[in-house]
Structure 1
Amino acid sequence: MILPEKMSRVQILANKELLNDVVTKLLKFQNFEPEEPEEPISNERFEDARRRLGVIQEHLNKFQIIMDLAGVTIEAKGKMKPGDWNKIADEVDAEASKEEDRYKDLLEEIGKIKSELDLYRAQLNEVLPFKDITVDLNKLYNLKLFDIYLLTVLPNQLDKLKFDSTLTLTRKINEKTYAVILISRKNTLQKEKIEKEIGAKVFETPEGKSPYEVYNEVQSKINELTKILEETRAKLKEKLRACESYVKEIYGKLLTIRDALTIVSRARVSEFYVQIEGYAPTKLVKKIKEQLKGEAFITERMPRRYGEKDKPPTLISLPKSIRVIESVVELYGTPSYWEISPIIFLIFTFPILFGLMFPDFGNALVVFLFAVWFYKYGKRKGSENTEKLSLVLIYSSIVAMITGLLAREFFGPVLVGGPREVFNSNKYPVGPLYHIWPVPVSVSNSLEYLIPFGHYSILSTEIEDTMILSIFIGALALFVSSLLGVINAVDKKDQEFLLYEKLPLLILYTVPLILFGYGFIDITDYFGKVECLLGGLLTNIFSFPPNLSTPTYTLAYILILWVEIGLIYNWISKVILIKRHEGHVGLGAAIGMGFIEGGFEAGILLLSNTISFIRILVFALAHYYLLYAFSYMGLLVLYSSVPYAAAVIIAGIIIALGNLLAIALEGLIVFIQDMRLHFYEMFSKFYEGQGRPFMPVMNYVELEEGEKEVARKEAIEVKAA
């Protein structure tokens, strides 16, 4: 799970007549990615397979569109009999074409409707800025005393709206569009002059109608076409439902044929032999040799060292339950074959950080239900990435529900802590869920350093302690990230990368770990020890000679020297790299550039990356106090002179609005910030993501055994008997 699977480059030489059997077995093997041969036995290819591959791909695209428009889950089902893959491709091509013809009229109708909708929506966007103007443009543009022009302009055209004796009214529509009304005395401003100098056309409507009238007409047509589109889609869905299994079976055959033709199209052929080459996991090469025993001659070799032309695909073996975390990593980039995968890192850190920043059981439950719906939507659309991201959100929301339970938060403080927590007074009652909440107050109080919410009063000391703990989490993550960078450099056997890129970072990011981990020498006084060391750090930064009166102050001075030495090392490293790889740069310029990158910038990043983890606390506090504010307003209404029934309704609406805002806005922000902490603070220390995923060919439907395979098995059984 930490390092990618070892891959071997496999070369298969077989009799040309056995090509189809070899392809079938490679599909069933499901762990072979075909490549162009490095040393081809000839320049001859199977050109027919390359041509058919394009045809099959077109069918796949059409079938995906058909199933998507009909709202059918995009998946492969069924079985097929292998044989001559070129002939099978022709047969399925004809079968797919025939099936597509059944939906041709409906698809063409849907296409026409969508084109019309796009056209009308474009017209609607044009008239939208002026839709409130009810005067016909014929009248507006032909006044006796004034010239009036309507136009939409881009931000860079605003500066050109300077005409003598002209009143200019502007209104921002969006980031890219401004609506403008120009008013001037009659015959002082010409239409042609406006269009030439500004570069924007004066707005006009068909037959000079008012923008208000045109907007309503276009909106009416859009509503009508949308209704027709839904009805047409319903017809397509009804027609497809009648033969859904058959469509999925053809789709599965097309996928299987695509992979079979991919193998054939990349093969090379001589007068008697065919050459197939590609990558397979090293541990499975023995299996592929056994499956092709007696039919092909197989050789293998391990990839060459990092930095050479060889670029093997990356396969990370993960249990199915945690494989979804891979989707977050892939947003950054696929791990290269030569580096440690950060997936094992994310399995723990991503959901935990999300839960610490979003500790509310009720809000997390809503996010969980949304993620379940989004997962089903992605599955129906056949979008693997949507499914994976949905599962990541499911896992993260489950952790957030756990932290919400521990914090005793359910849609804010009002339902558990109640008015007593909101108003911070024992005069008021607790919430209706206070006594039945599964986590007692004593447990929540014991976790106040990690989750400092949900208490009747939140002390500043608790916030300070939580800040220290948040930064310690960041310091630990940054140290581990830097250590992984060093391990990657050692694994790549790249001495320059190790000495001048990764080792300086490890030296620098060891300091925050020592600084905020110092408290563990006395766990009962963790925060006191860390605060004492921080005080010693500040004292020795601003005093000379250094204060070495206590062991803590001595350590603080050592850490200051440590950082200085690390920054100087990083500065010299950057100078060396600049001189080596940018030979035209002089020594003075290299020293200056090295100082900016390796000294000044590295020091700023050391400080900012470490402190950045305070956001764990900040977003949790922001979430709590947003709901606290809406709960406070709701309870003020409830305890006001407003009639009780009306007050309950108004208070409920206020609290519900606060929760909707927290779920929609903060849930998204926390998810993004969680990714940011990983992508920019952690991954940048060790992860390059310049690899390519392992994409093996496979059979998407069950492949029945052919006559030759059955005969071969019978012969083996007879021989064994």
Structure 2
Amino acid sequence: MAVEKMEMMNLVAPIENIHEILEGVVLTEKVHIQKGQNSGDSNFTLSVLEDALSTLRDMGSLVRYKASKKSLAAQRKDLQEITDTFDIIPDKSKSGYGECSLERAVDILCEMKSKVDPIKEALDETFEEIRRHRDFLESIKYLLGMDIDVSEFSKMKHFNYHIGTLTKERRIKLRNNYENISAVVLHIGSSEDGEAYLIFAPSDLDNESVKILKSLNFKEIKLPVEFKGTPDEVYKEVVEKIKTFNKIKEELEEKLSLLKEDYKHHIDNINRRLDIEEQIESLKDNLAVSRNFFYFSGWIPKSDRKKIKAQIEKLCPMAILSFEESEDIRKEIIPPTKLKNSWLLRPFEMLVNLYGVPNYKEIDPTFFLGLTYLILFGAMFGDVGQGSVIMLGGWLLKEKSTMKVQGELMMRVGISSVIFGFLYGSLFGFETVLPALLIRPIENIDTVLLSSVIFGVILLLMSFGLSIKNAVARRDIEEGLFGRNGLAGLLFYIVLLITVVQLALSRIVIPIYILFLIGAFMLSMILFRNPIASAVLKKTPSYHGGKKEYYIEGSFDLIETLLSLLSNTISFIRIGAFALNHVGLFLAFETMAHLSGNPAASVFIIILGNVIIIALEGLIVFIQGLRLEYYEMFSKYYKGDGVKYEPLKITKT
């Protein structure tokens, strides 16, 4: 329920140990590399180390690491070809990462290719022969029963022959053009693909016949010259040939299967080694070096400091590690944000990140968003049966590794819907089956709508509190005390609420003029927040764009503040509106079911209604809940301009 504490890790080690130490850094999968903080040719690592390790200046000047990087594209391509041949996917688990050096991996890869490639080539040739002979069977079947030697066709001197097929539509066109073809056209069979023909044409007129046949999209079938005898004899010979090739294919596949079993473990290790080496090569872009040492900096979670330190020092006892708190790093360098939440609310991090990653110094809004979103969704979509369907859909989705987070999120909102379904007494839209533990929305419309607004006011007040707390964490007095979402804005909102409530109840407790004066004072604080904050901090006021423009813009900002506070509050009425809409939509389907007068049709309409409500209204409620979170609350207290914690990973997911 917080942003995890980060530290800057600075590492110095002898340059001859560069590979094993970088491998150790990669294997931790905890180091976040931050790039592009400085202009010119300097990078983040070089800049930070020049500050943090100034005592080592006598070891030589710092320059960016420019050694030639290894290209692993050829090895990656070879491995991909082998895994495709074996039809396997390398195991991406972490076990066995240190079992195979790059040199050993390359040697094994070459050995595999020398054994696999000849078998694969032979197998490809065998497949081609099988395909060619099967195609021949398709062609010669039209000649079965003829008492002729097929090899005689190719020996004709004055005639050329063509065997092929036409679609049934093209056959009609061929028949209509018989007088234009200087050839003998024999219909020799039919199939699902079309009609088969044997055509004899004089050699000197064959080109003309070929053009006509091409225009009809004639699919010609070639008869290989190596076969002799009648079509029936040739057919049997080809069948035997195919059996022989199939046997060869099985033998080759068996050899590949044995090689697959022998090399599967090696393939996993080679894949892991290439993953590691690729990350090591990418890491070299962030190194600085002197004559004898290399230098490196990166962010790590503070809780992992001891583990990482021990792992690197084990690889190289001469390595020097220093760690700096984020507060000690220059202000313009922003630490990455790693969220730390309980299993219950962790899926809601996805919704937070959709808006933006929390700034390192911001409050993690996941806890507040998670709890409030569950209430919002359940209140707008309360139904025991439909919520159970959503929960079941989330569970099924969770089983897919690529949709795990989305599935977890659906399960939680489904549970919330079930809980509110019991409070509303609703089961698949029916409100006569279960007793309402709290209230039936359709019977208490005013109460539901008023409760929605009151709940919205509570959430907005809490949002102001979070905004003030964030400003305090940033040490931003101007926004925290005098900003529209700070203390001045909160007090103005409270004054506005008291005024509206008193007028609505026609009961004046605090005189309106006093509330007006307090409200005007708060607005003036917001308008003049820059000079007031500057006076408190004993600084010269800074007006972006000029003093006149600042106050003109500030005046319009006050109007926008007043309108947004009113619209933000009223916007929460949609909670009750969707709760009522949920009931009303089902009532429409229930009415249609009664009017159908047919039991089967009634059941179908009720089922269809539930499907539409779950799919369509469920999606709408999901979006409306996000809208309330993002526009009504996040706009008050959350910036989301942080940098996501993305440590080096051996295998990207």
Give the alignment's TM-score, normalised by structure 2: 0.64
Q: 2: CA distance between counterparts of 1:100 and 1:559?
A: 86
Per the alignment, residue 469 of structure 1 pairs with 451
Aligned-pair CA distance for 1:356? 0.9
Per the alignment, residue 212 of structure 1 pairs with none
Selected match of 2:301 from 256, 262, 281 = 281
Counterpart of 1:374 in 2: which secondary structure? Answer: helix
Alignment pair present for 1:566 and 2:522 = yes
Letter paired with 2:92:
A
Letter paired with 2:98:
P
Letter paired with 2:370:
I
Per the alignment, residue 333 of structure 2 pairs with 310
Q: 1: CA distance between counterparts of 2:425 and 2:31?
A: 52
Pair 1:8–1:307, CA change in 2 (3 A): closer
Contact 2:100 2:270 in 1 (8 A): no
Alignment pair present for 1:483 and 2:459 = no
Pair 1:678–1:81, CA change in 2 (3 A): closer
Contact 2:483 2:489 in 1 (8 A): no
Per the alignment, residue 52 of structure 1 pairs with 71
Q: Which runs of 5+ in 1 are unaligned?
A: 107-206, 208-238, 418-433, 519-532, 541-549, 639-646, 702-721
Larger radius of gyration: 2
Alignment pair present for 1:393 and 2:410 = yes
Aligned-pair CA distance for 1:512? 5.7
Per the alignment, residue 614 of structure 1 pairs with 573
Task: Write the deviation string for residues 256-305 of structure 1: whole angstroms up to 9, x where unpaired.
Answer: 44333333442233332221211112343243333334231112222357
Aligned-pair CA distance for 1:649? 0.9
Per the alignment, residue 552 of structure 2 pairs with 592
Contact 1:12 1:275 in 2 (8 A): yes
Aligned-pair CA distance for 1:329? 0.6
Pair 1:277–1:617, CA change in 2 (3 A): same
Contact 1:325 1:347 in 2 (8 A): yes
Letter paired with 1:52:
S
Pair 1:248–1:301, CA change in 2 (3 A): same
Q: 1: CA distance between counterparts of 2:104 and 2:282?
A: 14
Q: RMSD over aligned Cα, in angstroms?
A: 4.3
Per the alignment, residue 354 of structure 1 pairs with 377
Pair 1:245–1:343, CA change in 2 (3 A): farther
Aligned-pair CA distance for 1:676? 1.1
Q: How does 1:424-503 map to 2 (within 5 A)?
A: 434=433, 437=434, 441=435, 444=436, 447-448=438-439, 452-453=441-442, 458=443, 462-501=444-483
Per the alignment, residue 164 of structure 2 pairs with none
Counterpart of 1:340 in 2: which secondary structure? Answer: coil
Number of matched residues? Answer: 485
Q: How does 1:233-632 map to 2 (within 5 A)?
A: 252-293=272-313, 294-304=317-327, 308-377=331-400, 379=401, 383=402, 386-413=403-430, 417=432, 434=433, 437=434, 441=435, 444=436, 447-448=438-439, 452-453=441-442, 458=443, 462-501=444-483, 505-509=486-490, 534=500, 536-538=502-504, 552-554=508-510, 559-573=515-529, 583-585=544-546, 587=548, 589-597=549-557, 599-632=558-591
Share of identical aligned residues, percent?
27
Q: 2: CA distance between counterparts of 1:306 and 1:98?
A: 54
Pair 1:280–1:22, CA change in 2 (3 A): same
Give the alignment's TM-score, normalised by structure 1: 0.59
Contact 2:380 2:575 in 1 (8 A): yes
Q: 1: CA distance between counterparts of 2:427 and 2:377?
A: 17
Per the alignment, residue 138 of structure 2 pairs with none
Contact 1:12 1:277 in 2 (8 A): yes
Pair 1:316–1:586, CA change in 2 (3 A): closer
Pair 1:94–1:649, CA change in 2 (3 A): farther
Letter paired with 1:608:
S
Aligned-pair CA distance for 1:336? 1.1
Q: 2: CA distance between counterparts of 1:93 and 1:475?
A: 66
Q: 1: CA distance between counterparts of 2:277 and 2:342?
A: 29
Q: How does 1:109-148 map to 2 (within 5 A)?
A: none
Q: 2: CA distance between counterparts of 1:358 and 1:672?
A: 12
Contact 2:378 2:417 in 1 (8 A): yes
Q: 1: CA distance between counterparts of 2:421 and 2:388?
A: 10
Aligned-pair CA distance for 1:330? 0.6
Q: 2: CA distance between counterparts of 1:253 and 1:683?
A: 44
Per the alignment, residue 596 of structure 2 pairs with 637
Per the alignment, residue 547 of structure 1 pairs with none
Counterpart of 2:455 in 1: which secondary structure? Answer: helix
Selected match of 1:672 from 623, 626, 635 = 623
Letter paired with 1:301:
E
Pair 1:604–1:58, CA change in 2 (3 A): farther
Per the alignment, residue 33 of structure 1 pairs with 32
Q: 1: CA distance between counterparts of 2:564 and 2:298?
A: 43
Per the alignment, residue 649 of structure 1 pairs with 600
Aligned-pair CA distance for 1:22? 2.1
Q: 1: CA distance between counterparts of 2:308 and 2:357?
A: 26
Letter paired with 2:423:
L
Per the alignment, residue 20 of structure 2 pairs with 21
Pair 1:691–1:590, CA change in 2 (3 A): closer
Q: Which runs of 5+ in 2 are unaligned?
A: 35-43, 51-60, 125-214, 216-255, 534-539
Per the alignment, residue 685 of structure 1 pairs with 636
Letter paired with 2:465:
L
Q: 2: CA distance between counterparts of 1:493 and 1:99?
A: 67
Task: Write the deviation string for residues 477-501 of structure 1: whole angstroms up to 9, x where unpaired.
Answer: 1122222112111111233343443
Aligned-pair CA distance for 1:534? 4.7
Letter paired with 1:495:
I
Contact 2:480 2:486 in 1 (8 A): no
Contact 2:72 2:274 in 1 (8 A): no
Counterpart of 2:326 in 1: which secondary structure? Answer: coil
Aligned-pair CA distance for 1:250? 5.7
Per the alignment, residue 644 of structure 1 pairs with none
Pair 1:684–1:87, CA change in 2 (3 A): farther
Q: 1: CA distance between counterparts of 2:111 and 2:355?
A: 41
Counterpart of 2:298 in 1: which secondary structure? Answer: strand
Counterpart of 1:80 in 2: which secondary structure? Answer: coil
Pair 1:262–1:96, CA change in 2 (3 A): farther
Aligned-pair CA distance for 1:75? 7.0
Pair 1:608–1:266, CA change in 2 (3 A): same
Per the alignment, residue 96 of structure 2 pairs with 80
Pair 1:99–1:592, CA change in 2 (3 A): farther
Letter paired with 2:441:
P
Aligned-pair CA distance for 1:26? 2.5
Per the alignment, residue 132 of structure 2 pairs with none
Counterpart of 1:12 in 2: which secondary structure? Answer: strand
Per the alignment, residue 709 of structure 1 pairs with none
Q: 2: CA distance between counterparts of 1:680 and 1:406?
A: 28
Q: 2: CA distance between counterparts of 1:510 and 1:103?
A: 78
Counterpart of 2:596 in 1: which secondary structure? Answer: helix
Letter paired with 2:471:
A
Pair 1:494–1:91, CA change in 2 (3 A): farther
Q: 2: CA distance between counterparts of 1:66 and 1:351?
A: 46
Contact 2:26 2:648 in 1 (8 A): yes
